[in-house]
Chain A
Amino acid sequence: MKYVDEFRDPEKAKALKNKIAQLMDQLPYTEKKPLLLMEFCGGHTHTLFRYGIQQMLPNSIEMVHGPGCPVCVLPRGRVDDCVILAERPDVIFTTFGDAMRVPGSHKSLLQAKADGADIRMVYSPLDALELARKNPERQVIFFALGFETTMPSTALTVMQAKAEGLTNFALFCNHLTTAPTIQAILDDPDMHIDGFLAPGHVSMVIGEQPFEFIPERYQKPIVITGFEPLDILQSIYMLLQQIVEGRCEVENQYVRIVQKQGNHPGLAAIEQVFELRDSFEMRGLGTLDDSGVRMRPEFAGFDAEKKFHVPNLRVADPESCQCGDVVKGLIRPWQCAEFGKLCTPETPMGALMVSSEGACAAYYNFGDLPELMAKRQAHLERESAA
């Protein structure tokens, strides 16, 4: 566990915690009017909760959990599309485990599997490719999901499939692009985020440049952040330094992984296989321009949307479900009327309650539930009084 433990050193954490508190003393934020920092990425949300980082921060900082959890922003209709593809008798449908329990309108992939669909959990798109090689009489579909972090591996897998001349392998492409998603948050009139922790793994692929519009056009500081607890504390400290000094730029805390220019072979693979969609629907954020990618026409033979009939269903969330507002950071998970009531990890209404990176699941699993429920009751009473 070398290379990990040094990023979890409690002494260094204490030192950073004190330095953060000192900087906050110079700023006018209070518990009632806190500084709002958004960690975009679900991986960061998970680390915040797993290590109890929120309690280490002054009350005048509030972490807002962003939409950077690919399953969480998957619209309900896309899950329905997955189920329809998976239930074809000629298909082996492969997916990462996180997506299995996300509810569609009628069922999740896990329920479809129980009903007889051939759905297999894989750890890598290469596992799906191997299934295609071993089952030439079946069509193997890989549910490609994720922001830029996972795009190079799916791109390379498709290129490999093409090189081998496989005709029974396809992607159901649901890859998303980070920068347009952050822009949607910045353009939302309801949102007032004071600074961003940028996703480290996405940045490893795309580099710093795609984030430059954030300080330039929106005057918000942003720090590219690693996933260990000390990374997060240090990045919060770097954001505060920018704010105290009146600076506003893209800084890179995750220098051990992220290069300014990104990863050239990865970007080249993405460029070769994918092109931007005009728009793509993201749960809670609506239909955003340039927010997703599809496969280029040269790879049509590997595109499940071209190979099979995908109904592309648009399905609204249940009315009481406030996943969208949580994804945008407008409300905290526990403020949703269904949190912990109708919506629990056992009976989730939305992906936020399913994924290990989902904000609602993090609050539910790592938070003090009775305390949150009491807070929610008070919140609902205040709302109805208002």
Chain B
Amino acid sequence: MNTRSERKRSLQGDTITLSHGSGGKAMRDLIDDVFVAGFDSAELNTLEDQARFDIAALAAYGDRLAMTTDSYVVDPLFFPGGDIGKLSVTGTINDLAVGGAIPLYLSCGMIIEEGFKVEDLRRIVQSMKQTADAAGVRIVTGDTKVVHKGAADKLFINTAGIGVIPAGIEIGAHRAQPGDVVICNGYIGDHGAAIVDARGELAIENTIQTDCATLSGLIQAMLAVCPDIHCMRDATRGGIATVLNEFAQSSGCAIRIEETRIPIRKEVRGMCEILGLDALYLANEGKVIALVPAAQAQAILAAMRAHPTGKDSVIIGEVVAEPAGRVILTTGFGGDRIVDMLVGEQLPRIC
């Protein structure tokens, strides 16, 4: 058996060059020194072309596999409270978690622009490893490509994830029904605002931290209290407005939310005021919107508030029958307005 210690090579130079993607010795050095050493998982250490799983072990978690993929192109790569590496792990884990799945394995594909600093790559890999470890997820297979200067912007990451859905859990956007209660796990818009802030174009004095966090622990705690959660999605690009519209359209119900109950930090509100943005459409990277049966709402809320990523959880609205397929906001001012899907982009490249 080949062990990593026999094969280990170290990477030469401070920057990534085209030779690191050529399939030759330099690429081998990069994989060994940065990725295999950095991710340090049993599956990856075998250096086979694929990760292999024991089916019986997976079946112990539940009765269905869940799989998802997402690509990460955020600019800048490092921002207050996170970086592209952390984001690429939390984002894919969260996409599994909101389906009720227990996330288990991730793949990692990297597209690197030549000239990228090795030091930054190590930081990002370390961040991925820490985030995955904390969520009990292993990065088990990967791929690296290096492209010419200008063919990609610094670094793009793709991760795919596999998880298992326990028996009896049926979460789906079509399941919203009148009487359901809308719960959100805290302050919205932090990630979108943090990225605008981190670009430094506005010279705003406050530093806004991203909310980038894995939601799998919180969601498992919610499902432990109430396995019959009807709808659940993480509100990433397009914000909570987009997720609520997806629920309303899939189920044919209406969703009413109240502006005064939606938690928005004053720094984020301030930025929205200055730039004319709407926090309902700002991206989040650690926010889940759940539609739950009214009878269990308080128990779920209590379980959420007991969890670190759910301590600011609140009820923000309810599902009603009419007007079918629409989301309505009661403004703090006392009027009502429709909250539609976002058209166009509020901001470029936020995740």
Contact = CB atoms under 8 A, between A and B. Distances in A.
Nearest to B260: A10
A288 interface: no
Count chain B CB atoms within 10 A of each CB in A49, A127, A365 and give the residue with the most. A365
Interface residues of A, number: 31
A1 to B, nearest CB: 5
Nearest to A230: B333
A107 to B, nearest CB: 16
A12 to B, nearest CB: 10
A344 B340 CA distance: 13
A376 to B, nearest CB: 16
B267 to A, nearest CB: 10
B341 to A, nearest CB: 9
B202 A52 contact: no
B262 to A, nearest CB: 14
B343 A346 contact: yes
Interface stretch (B31-39, B205-213, B269-277): B269-277
Contacts of A56: 334-335
Contacts of B344: 101, 345-346
Interface in B194-208: 201-202
A52 B332 contact: no
B274 to A, nearest CB: 9
Nearest to B328: A368
B52 interface: no
B338 interface: yes
A13 B331 CA distance: 12
Nearest to B276: A356
B interface bracket (residues with beta carbon within 8 Å of A): 20 to 34
Given A123-B201, A368-B323, A52 B336 contact: yes
Contacts of A368: 323, 326, 338
A356 B278 CA distance: 11
Contacts of B337: 49-52, 366
Contact of A1 (B270, B333, B335): B270
A45 to B, nearest CB: 13
Given A1-B266, A1-B270, A51 B340 contact: no
A150 to B, nearest CB: 14
Contacts of A346: 343-344
Contacts of B201: 123, 127
B331 A52 contact: yes
A88 to B, nearest CB: 22
A26 interface: no
Interface in A19-53: 46, 49-53
Contacts of B333: 8, 10, 13, 51-53, 229
Interface in B297-351: 323, 326, 331-338, 340, 343-344
Interface string A310-323: 00000000000000
Contact of A4 (B273, B323, B336): B273
Interface in A56-84: 56
Count chain B CB atoms within 10 A of each CB in A1, A46, A101 and give the residue with the most. A1
Interface in B13-52: none
29 contacts: A1-B266, A4-B273, A8-B333, A10-B332, A10-B334, A13-B334, A14-B334, A17-B334, A50-B331, A51-B333, A51-B337, A52-B331, A52-B333, A52-B334, A52-B336, A52-B337, A53-B335, A54-B335, A56-B334, A229-B333, A344-B343, A345-B344, A346-B343, A346-B344, A356-B276, A366-B338, A367-B338, A368-B326, A370-B323
Interface of A: 1, 4, 8, 10, 13-14, 17, 46, 49-56, 101, 123, 127, 229, 344-346, 356, 364-370
Given A1-B270, A55-B336, A365-B343, 5 more contacts: A8-B332, A17-B334, A123-B201, A345-B344, A346-B344
5 closest A-B pairs by beta carbon, nearest first, are A52-B335, A345-B343, A10-B334, A51-B333, A52-B337
